[in-house]
Amino acid sequence: MATIRQAILGFATVPDEAGEVFFEPYDVKATNDVWKRLVIIFNDTSSRKGLRGAFNVPKDYVGAPKIIVVWTGTAITGDVEWDFDYRAVGGNDTESLDQAGTQESVNVNDTAPSAIHERMEASLALTAANLAADDTLLFELFRDGSDAGDTMAAAAIVHDVLFEYSDA
């Protein structure tokens, strides 16, 4: 049995319409300006703002699902409150992709890097029985600025969002 990670931000990725979550080239906030790839900025706000998307649960999925947020920042103190809301929809002509409400909402509080721009991983565990191979997993990843635990006075810079799971 192996532990596998795959990136989940595909064509369906869209930030919320309030403008506090957005795509930006990394060199806008980076110091050395060498790696000018796109990152996703989650601004310091007093509200819960997110990034929406969807991905396919792999055929070899068995269990131990987690969402791994790879992020960094220009603050070296304070915490970020990450929330992940999702619904897994499966089958062929059996389940609606337009259901109201989430199946599960999970959260984790992660502390700022000890030095600016250091790679951080925030891990959010999902309920294994909620997912099945070939499901479409609809999600929204939030930074919850309304949570008292979100104290970092800087934008969170997301470099990747991964789905981790165990295979057969």
Among 6, 38, 60, 77, binds another protein (CB under 8 A): 77
Which pair of structure tokens corresponds to residue 149? 């635990």
Binding mask 81-100 for another protein (x = CB under 8 A): --------------------
Q: Which is nearer to another protein, 52 or 117 (CB)?
A: 117
Specify the 3-state DSSP secondary structure of 18: coil
Q: If binding is defined by CB under 8 A, does position 110 make contact with another protein?
A: no
Alpha carbon distance 60, 62 (integer Å): 6
Alpha carbon distance 71, 159 (integer Å): 5
Q: If binding is defined by CB under 8 A, does position 111 make contact with another protein?
A: no
Which pair of structure tokens corresponds to residue 126? 């999902």
**Burial (CB count <10 Å: 0-12, 13-18, 19+), residue 78:** middle
Among the residue ranges 42-50, 54-62, 118-126, 132-140, the one whose residues contact another protein (CB under 8 A): 42-50
- The contact set with another protein (CB under 8 A) reads 29, 43-46, 74-78, 116, 145, 150-155
